[in-house]
Structure 1
Amino acid sequence: MKKVLLLSICYAFIHCNSNINPKNKIQDDVIFLASDDLEGRQTGTKGEKIAANYISNRFIQLGLSPKGTDGYLQPFSFKSKTNPHEEIKFTENGDGRITGNNVIGFLDNTAENTIVIGAHYDHLGYGGEGSLYKDSIKAVHNGADDNASGVAVMLHLATILKDKNTNNNYLFIAFSGEEMGLLGSNYFVKNPTIDTKKISYMINMDMVGRMKKDTTLAVYGTGTSPSFKQVLKSHNDNFKLIQNESGVGPSDHTSFYLADIPVLHFFTGQHEDYHKPSDDAEKLNYEGMELISDYIFDIISNLNNQKKLAFRKTKNESENTPRFKVGLGVIPDYLFDGKGMRIDGISENKPAQKAGLTKGDIVIKLGDSLVVNMMSYMRALSVFDKGDTTKVIVKRDEKEVEKEINF
């Protein structure tokens, strides 16, 4: 009853506040989606359904047409994995153990081609597989940054694209099942509700809510179309851009890239609250989210007069990622572009903490191997087994510090 009441209040709020400043809605959307009442929005749960209804109602408010298979919804059913190495299989007619819903709205400008703008809205519920929370007490993983932030920016883009850049149509998709393996985006690409041959490119936002003071912004997929790099550069007045050409990564843009569609994925970096109950709405940088939204709008505007963008395959860097049996127990700073691997967070009772490493340390040597970037760090790590002992050298406040690591 509590959740039904919450949804009713949410629906009334939307329809009674149609004149609200759209910039204020970014924070409003995050606060609702990341509230405890939605219990972490895990795929197939009541919380996910409340979130899907909220997004559907926002699409109604924004004047988007339904483009799912059931109104704005595109249900997909699947059986959960018993073996972590097996591929999840979709099932027909709702006979799977779990049913999730993509939420799809369409801005129809009667144009030939369509731009897909997406973000996943599911998260980890009370934890389970993927959670980095170590306490035994059950806790809601609210996922404010991951990924209420991306959904809020997507909804803001739907607001500001209305009656603008009309040489393309726009398909807005809130994906479910991302945390379980890009399920919603994979299902959409295999069961599209529009002609995928008419998709010019896809924009994905996943964890765009924690921009740091240095305004670093990562953009992946920059090599998937020849048009992207110059456009990104020409409209960048605010960000320290970290660009990655590959169209393959751990978010929903990958599903579209694998269907030969150019993609851009925006990301402000991991942090110590990643996949923990502490990823809450009050920790987000809402001004930074507005800057990202405006930047994406400028990119879309620049490309508005172009026809369907050319697609280009990129090197799949994940194929060359070394496999390793041990870890330091750190969160790398994926936005660091200096030499070495900068530590952005330390896990408790893991080798790094026990050795005395701290957040901000830059690993420059591990064992006999120099560390100059993330890939060289992973290569260095891959040679060790559980029980091994080695030396690590980190740069800390311009000094080199040596510590002993016990894996």
Structure 2
Amino acid sequence: MLRNLIFLFVFFIVLISCKQDVNRNVTMQEDVAYLASDSLQGRETGTLYEKEAANYLERRLEEIGLLPKGNAGTYFQTFSFKPKTDPHSEVQFVGGDSTITGTNVIGFIDNKADKTVIIGAHYDHLGMGGEGSLYAEGDAIHNGADDNASGVSVLLNLAAKLRDTVTQHNYLFMAFSGEEMGLLGSNYFSKNPTIDLAQVNYMLNMDMVGRMREDKTLSISGTGTAPIWGQVLNVNNPGFKLVLSESGMGPSDHTSFYLQDIPVLHFFTGQHEDYHKPSDDSDKLNYKGMEMIRDFILSVMYDLDDDDKLAFRKTKNESEDTPRFKVALGVMPDYLFDGKGMRIDGVTDGKPAALAGLLKGDVVVKLGDSTVVDMMSYMRALSVFDEGDATEVTVDRNGEKISANITF
């Protein structure tokens, strides 16, 4: 009898262990497949579908073995706000009628260290479209596989890799809500943190990391927020074509932590023709590329593990120098292009570029009287035009210079 009881005890221990291993080894494809499924209706902030996604992330963090680090001993940090009517005003975090409630999902690995790394990715998206959508044919589910189920799946995979690795850092994993409405979840957490921000060494943000190209181009911004970033990224680079930007400010959640004087990095594989459209689906992601990014991030973290706390450095806010313009060409720029000019990564039907016959892959080298050598010079050239103006645009198409007339 005793022998049988011992056998059963050992059997259940093995069974539980195997169950934990299986749960920790959920693939990135499986996480993305669920988060970007039609059943979640695009995960719009404040909807029941976003809450279903939050419940899934809670289960995943619990299965992996992370401690809850939201409010009141849960994995959730909720925040309520009134939608902005003035696009230039700041959002008001309030309660009461006519409010929307978002939910950050937060888990913690406590290594009893005096330094903590925050790893974040937003999990909300555009729901059925609405403001922010680039789809012109009415309501449709915007699944947001690259934006940003890709970043969340890498986050979960990193959590599983780091769970049983004893290092000199603690790790706070955060899936942010409200990013698409203006970095709301990360903004709220940065002002209502569930850990001591003074102990945070740095923050890593993964937003749209699922569409790595054949040339392995990887954009990393925030490299000026700590003096050591450039060195540690280049030393650990496994073969990426790195496009580095110093600014800690940008249209993603790392900005909220940069504004708290925390060194940040934002990993990004570039925009594409499915950006903010219903066609951003899970079968289009480069999962091998996502694994490369995960391994690269781990290498950087391990390299920094026994270093002193990173020194924070303020960077120039590049958005302050961005020209304002009243017209649009109707193209998706290739932000990872490092040649001369502005490469077009997508053309919107019915807009000036499409009507002029411009194509994806064309490189704009002249707009009006201005020579275009990079993104900034393109924006400066565009900023001088008003609606109704006409001008000439010159593009490089496979080595051939082609000119066309544009009417804004």
* TM-score bracket for this pair, using the shorter chain length: over 0.9
Question: Counterpart of 1:338?
Answer: 339
**Which deviates more, 330-339 or 94-103?**
94-103
- Contact conserved, 1:77 with 1:96, CA < 8 A, in 2? no
- Are the equivalent residues in 2 in contact too, given 1:165–1:301 (CA < 8 A)? no
Aligned twin of 1:188: 189
Q: Cα distance, 1:216 vs. partner?
A: 0.3
Distance change (3 Å), C-alpha of 1:40 and 1:356: same
Is the 2:367–2:394 contact (alpha carbons within 8 Å) kept by the matching residues of 1?
Answer: yes
Residues 7-406 of structure 1: pairs in structure 2 closer than 5 A: 18-20=20-22, 25-70=27-72, 71-92=74-95, 97-136=99-138, 138-164=139-165, 166-406=167-407
**AA matched with 2:215:** D
Q: Distance in 2 between matches of 1:354 and 1:15?
A: 61
| Identity %, equivalent residues | 65
Residues 81 and 92 in structure 2, CA contact (< 8 A), matched pair in contact too: yes
Q: What is the CA distance between 1:181 and its match in structure 2?
A: 0.2
Deviations 1:331-381 (A, max 9, x none): 000000111000000000000000010000000110000111100000000
Measured in 2, the distance between the counterparts of 1:132 and 1:283 equals 18
Other-structure match for 2:7 = none
The 3-state SS of whatever aligns with 2:30 is helix
* Conservation of the 8 A alpha-carbon contact between 1:326 and 1:384: yes
Q: Using the TM superposition, give the Cα deviation of residue 22 of structure 1 relative to its aligned residue in structure 2, in angstroms.
A: 5.5
Give, in angstroms, the shift of residue 163 of structure 1. Answer: 2.7
Tell which structure's C-alpha radius of gyration is larger: 2
Deviations for 1:50-83, whole angstroms, at most 9, x for unmatched residues?
1101111111011100000140000000011222
In structure 1, give the amino acid aligned to 2:47.
T
Structure 2 counterpart of 1:367, which letter? G
Q: What root-mean-square deviation, in Å, do the aligned CA atoms of Structure 1 and Structure 2 show?
A: 1.5
Alignment CA distance shift 1:81-1:16 (3 Å): farther
Amino acid at match of 2:34: F
Q: CA deviation at 1:192?
A: 0.3
Gaps of 5+ in 1: 1-13
Partner letter of residue 20 of structure 1? Answer: V
CA separation in 1, counterparts of 2:166 and 2:234?
20
Q: What residue number does 2:5 align with? A: none
Q: In structure 2, what is the equivalent of residue 6 of structure 1?
A: none
Structure 2 gaps of 5+ residues are 1-15
SS of 2:182's equivalent in the other structure is: coil
Larger deviation, residues 156-165 vs 21-30: 21-30
* AA matched with 1:355: A
Letter in 1 for 2:37: S
**TM-score computed with the length of structure 2 as normaliser:** 0.94
Give CA-to-partner distance per residue, 1:84-128, whole Å, 9 cap, x none.
222210014x65510000000000000001000000000000011
More deviation, 300-309/378-387:
300-309
TM-superposed deviation, 1:238: 2.1
